[in-house]
């Protein structure tokens, strides 16, 4: 038997539940562009970023939910003998009308759009230029997610925490760009992740694999290993003057004698000569300033770097100026020292910038951008590289230089580089501070869409910008090409012999 009073509590709970379940999902728009809605929290089918159909008077609109939160309200019950006013909980939110005719409405019934309806809307807004299929819509499974290739004439920013799938997914974007466009690409590859970009994974004879294999024949890998297509090398004379001085740690004022000696040597040198072995010979020089310069280069270990071509073979700078392949993978990860990686990065960026007046469109891909163009460069060569990245970010577009930068730490990338990016690919990110920073930078994206990045799984991403019709969630598909930069095997975690 129930205790006295229990049944009235049960009645009360039932009343509340009935009222909460009875809330109809309805939307109102006072401007024909945005809508506010409410729905029951029971079996809630609407979700942030999801697509909805709004139905009223025989008309339908297609929209997207931008915010969704639990809320409460007081209602009149009218129940005999019961409370006259009770508090019930419900879901409230706002959204954007994507296909509206601008007419206002009130109490339109809101329901999740089916995959067919989402597909129909995306097909209607698909660009006439090449569409790059990168996966499917996260909240409308089976609907292909495509980027507008033409949108890569803006800078693109990709970010996500370590292991969120940036490198894998960036590879997929590059594959699609290779197969569906003729855009030239230069890839700064710090972890040798793209050295196998030309190798098709499972050559299953599919049309896409065949077309990819053809396009990938135009990928060339420059690296310091036997499998590379070309040794990653250049001459000291290829390095721009500021970087030469920076590399040797020379200050034009404090080290004026050595600086002048360097200047003299460079002025006397000719392209094609083995200038660095000339630097080597400086150690034997009778001239004390020249001897000092030689000592400096020797002490810094510069003379032993593998990137000096000693005048043999093609230089990276020549390749950048007169490309023999459409896609150049610069395998920074194959170099022995971080100083060489920095100098090569600086040389790539400065060379592209120096030749900007040729106006040859080129996508400059920078993975781990917080190392190449950081907000606070820790050394003089990186400082120069960052300066060129910022110049390309600010003014490169008019010369056809487009950036695609990827990082784990948006706040550690040069501010100018980040702020000039129009396209965003945001993968899983837990740091509230980083998400807040991104919301400020990409202010055209609803902050609540950005916030959901904390819940993303592997390969899930928020896509926004000129290359996508309207900010939304995408799940990246499978790569065609092989991944490089294999993880270190974790055999050490296996149980040993008992
Ligand atoms: N869509 C995907 N499908 C299958 N595997 C994936 C997918 N995305 C990533 N992976 C795998 O997950 C792992 C982590 O991905 P990835 O290296 O791309 O992460 P990351 O964000 O670049 O990390 P880091 O910032 O540490 O470089 C890799 O082993 C990769 O092969
Ligand atoms: Mg990575």
Taking only the tens place, the pLDDT of each residue in 441-454 is 999 999 999 999 99
Q: Would you state the pLDDT for residue 284?
A: 75
Which two tokens mark 142?
Answer: 């089976």
pLDDT in tens, 199-217: 998 766 788 889 999 999 9
Q: Is the CB of 165 under 6 A from ligand 1?
A: yes
When mean pLDDT is compared across 80-89, 139-148, 317-326, 411-420, the lowest value belongs to: 80-89
pLDDT digit string, tens, across residues 47-81: 999 999 999 988 899 999 999 999 999 988 876 66
Token pair listed for 492:
């050490």
Q: Note whether 219 and 247 are same-domain residues.
A: no
Q: Let me know if residue 494 belongs to a domain.
A: no
Domain membership of residue 123 (yes or no) is no
Nearest CA to ligand 1 atom 10: 165
**Cβ neighbours, 10 Å, residue 160:** 28
Ligand 1 atom with least separation from CA of 168: 18
458 alpha carbon – ligand 2 mean position (Å): 12
Atom of ligand 1 nearest to the CA of 408: 25
Residue 267's pLDDT band, with cuts at 50, 70 and 90, is: low
CA 159 to centroid of ligand 2, rounded, Å = 10
Which numbered ligand comes closest to the C-alpha of 189? 2
Is residue 21 predicted with pLDDT exceeding 60?
Answer: yes
Residue 396, both tokens: 């490169």
Residue 169 lies in a domain: yes
Q: Quick: pLDDT tens for 455-488.
A: 999 999 999 999 999 999 999 999 999 998 655 5
Residues 53 and 108 in one domain: yes
Nearest ligand, CA 409: 1
Atom of ligand 1 nearest to the CA of 485: 17
Which string of DSSP letters, residue by residue, matches 18-78?
A: HHHHT---EEEESSSSEEEEEE-STT----TT-EEEEEETTEEEEEEEEEEEEEEEEEE--
Nearest atom, ligand 1, residue 458 CA: 8
144 and 222, same domain (yes or no): yes
- For residue 26 the two structure tokens come to 């309805």
Looking at the CA of residue 476, tell me the nearest atom of ligand 1.
Answer: 1
CB atoms within 10 A of CB 168: 16
Locate 408 and state its tokens. 């784990």
Contacts of 301 (CB under 8 A, 6+ apart): 337, 339
The span from the CA of 156 to the CA of 174, in Å, is 13
- Say whether both 145 and 158 belong to one domain: yes
Report the SS3 class of residue 233.
coil
In a domain, 489, yes or no: no
With a cut of 60, say whether residue 333 has pLDDT above it: yes
Give the model's pLDDT for residue 279: 60
If one counts every other C-beta atom within 10 angstroms of the C-beta of residue 72, the result is 10
Residues 352 and 213 reside in one and the same domain:
yes
Residue 333: CB within 6 Å of ligand 1?
no
CATH of the domain at 392: 3.40.50.300
Burial of 236 from C-beta contacts in 10 A (0-12 / 13-18 / 19+):
buried
Q: How far is the CA of 294 from the centre of ligand 2 (A)?
A: 38
Domain match, 46 and 170 both: no
Q: Which ligand is nearest to the CA of 169?
A: 1
For ligand 2, an ion, list residues with CB under 5 A: 166-167
Residue 487 lies in a domain: no
pLDDT score of 498 more than 60: no
Question: What pLDDT, in 10s, does the model give residues 344-402?
Answer: 999 999 999 999 999 999 999 999 999 999 999 999 999 999 999 999 999 999 999 99
Q: Is residue 416 a part of any domain in this protein? A: yes
- Residue whose C-alpha is closest to residue 381's, from 421, 343, 326, 355: 343
Same domain, 346 and 457: yes
CB 496 within 8 A of CB 485: no
Q: How far is CA 363 from CA 278, 319, 352, 418, in A?
A: 36, 15, 10, 16
Judge if the beta carbon of residue 475 lies within 6 A of ligand 1: no
Structural domain of 99: 6-113
Structural contact between residues 465 and 423, judged by C-beta atoms closer than 8 angstroms:
yes
Binning pLDDT at 50, 70 and 90, where does residue 255 land? confident
DSSP state for residue 336 in the 8-state scheme: S
Q: Are strands 401-407 and 362-366 parallel, antiparallel or unpaired?
A: parallel
Give me ligand 2 centre to Cα 456, in Å: 16
> Are 364 and 467 within one domain?
yes
By most ligand atoms within 8 Å of CB, the mutation choice from 134, 145, 157, 167 for ligand 1 is: 167
pLDDT band at 160 (very low <50, low <70, confident <90, very high): very high
Residue 13 shares a structural domain with residue 67: yes
- Identify the band that residue 85 occupies on the pLDDT scale cut at 50, 70 and 90: confident
Tokens of 54: 């709004």
Give yes or no: residues 264 and 217 share one domain. Answer: no
Q: Cα 272 from chain centroid?
A: 38
Q: What distance in angstroms lies between residue 170's CA and the mean position of ligand 1's atoms?
A: 10
Band of residue 5 on the pLDDT scale cut at 50, 70, 90: low
For residue 458, the CA-to-ligand 1 centroid distance in Å is: 7
Strands 105-112 and 184-188 turn out to be unpaired
Ligand 1 site, residue 40, Cβ cutoff 6 A: no
- 247, 274, 306 — which closes off a domain? 306
The reply to whether 102 and 37 lie within a common domain is yes
- Tell me how many domains the chain contains: 3
Determine whether the shortest distance from the Cβ of 476 to ligand 1 is under 6 A. Answer: yes
Collapse the DSSP code of 471 into the 3-class scheme (helix H, G, I; strand E, B; otherwise coil) and give the result.
coil
Indicate if 24 and 145 belong to the same structural domain: no
Asked if 28 contacts 108 with a C-beta cutoff of 8 angstroms, the reply is yes
Instruction: Identify whether 462 is part of a domain.
Output: yes
Global pTM reads 0.92
CB of 163 within 6 A of ligand 1: the answer is: yes
Last residue of a domain, one of 113, 139, 154: 113
CB 408 within 8 A of CB 162: yes
Q: What is the SS3 assignment for 386?
A: helix
> Taking the chain, what is the end-to-end CA distance rounded to the nearest angstrom?
60
Domain end among 85, 113, 141: 113
- CA distance readout (Å), 474 to 96, 138, 145, 232, 352: 18, 5, 6, 36, 32
Is the shortest distance between the CB of 166 and ligand 1 below 6 Å? yes
Q: How far is the CA of 169 from the centre of ligand 1 (A)?
A: 7
User: Do the Cβ atoms of 230 and 313 come closer than 8 Å?
Assistant: yes
Of 33-42, 95-104, 391-400, the least confident: 95-104
Instruction: Let me know if residue 95 belongs to a domain.
Output: yes
């Amino acid at each position: 038997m129930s205790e006295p009073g229990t049944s009235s509590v049960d009645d009360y709970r039932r009343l509340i539940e009935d009222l909460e379940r009875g809330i109809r999902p309805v939307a109102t728009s006072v401007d024909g562009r945005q809508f506010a809605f409410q729905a029951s929290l029971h079996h809630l089918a609407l979700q942030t970023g999801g697509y909805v159909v709004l139905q009223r008077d025989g008309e339908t609109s297609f929209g997207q939910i931008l915010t969704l939160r639990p809320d409460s309200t007081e209602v009149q019950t009218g129940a005999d003998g019961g409370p006259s006013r009770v508090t019930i909980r419900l879901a409230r939110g706002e959204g954007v009308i994507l296909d509206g005719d601008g007419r206002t409405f009130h109490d339109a019934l809101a329901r999740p759009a089916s995959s067919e309806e989402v597909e129909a809307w995306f097909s209607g807004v698909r660009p006439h230029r090449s569409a790059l299929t990168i996966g499917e819509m996260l909240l409308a499974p089976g609907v292909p997610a495509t980027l507008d290739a033409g949108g890569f004439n803006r800078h693109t920013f990709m970010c996500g925490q370590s292991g969120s799938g940036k490198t894998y997914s960036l590879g997929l974007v590059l594959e699609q760009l290779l197969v569906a466009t003729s855009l030239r690409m230069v890839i700064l590859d710090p972890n040798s992740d793209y050295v196998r970009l030309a190798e098709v994974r499972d050559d299953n004879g599919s049309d896409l694999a065949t077309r990819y294999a053809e396009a990938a024949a135009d990928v060339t890998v420059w690296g310091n290993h036997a499998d590379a297509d070309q040794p990653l090398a250049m001459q000291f004379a290829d390095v721009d003057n500021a970087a030469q001085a920076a590399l040797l740690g020379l200050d034009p004022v404090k080290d004026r004698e050595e600086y002048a000696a360097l200047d003299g040597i460079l002025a006397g040198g000719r392209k094609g000569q083995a200038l660095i072995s000339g630097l080597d010979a400086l150690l034997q020089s009778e001239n004390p300033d020249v001897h000092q310069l030689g000592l400096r280069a020797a002490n810094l270990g510069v003379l032993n770097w593998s990137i000096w071509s000693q005048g043999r073979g093609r230089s990276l700078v020549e390749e950048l100026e007169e490309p023999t392949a459409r896609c150049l993978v610069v395998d920074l990860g194959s170099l022995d020292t971080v100083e060489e990686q920095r100098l090569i990065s600086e040389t790539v960026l400065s060379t592209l910038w120096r030749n900007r007046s040729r106006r040859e469109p080129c996508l400059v891909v920078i993975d781990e951008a917080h190392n190449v163009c950081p907000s606070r460069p820790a050394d003089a060569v990186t400082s120069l590289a960052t300066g060129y990245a910022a110049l390309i970010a600010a003014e490169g577009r008019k010369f056809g230089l487009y950036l695609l930068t990827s990082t784990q730490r948006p706040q550690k990338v040069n501010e100018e580089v980040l702020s000039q990016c129009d396209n965003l690919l945001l993968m899983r990110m837990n740091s509230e501070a980083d998400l807040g920073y991104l919301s400020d930078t990409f202010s055209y994206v609803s902050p609540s869409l950005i916030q959901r990045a904390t819940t993303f799984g592997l390969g899930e991403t928020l896509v926004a910008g000129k290359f996508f019709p309207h900010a939304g969630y995408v799940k990246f598909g499978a790569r065609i090409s092989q991944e490089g930069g294999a993880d270190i095997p974790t055999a050490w975690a296996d149980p040993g012999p008992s």
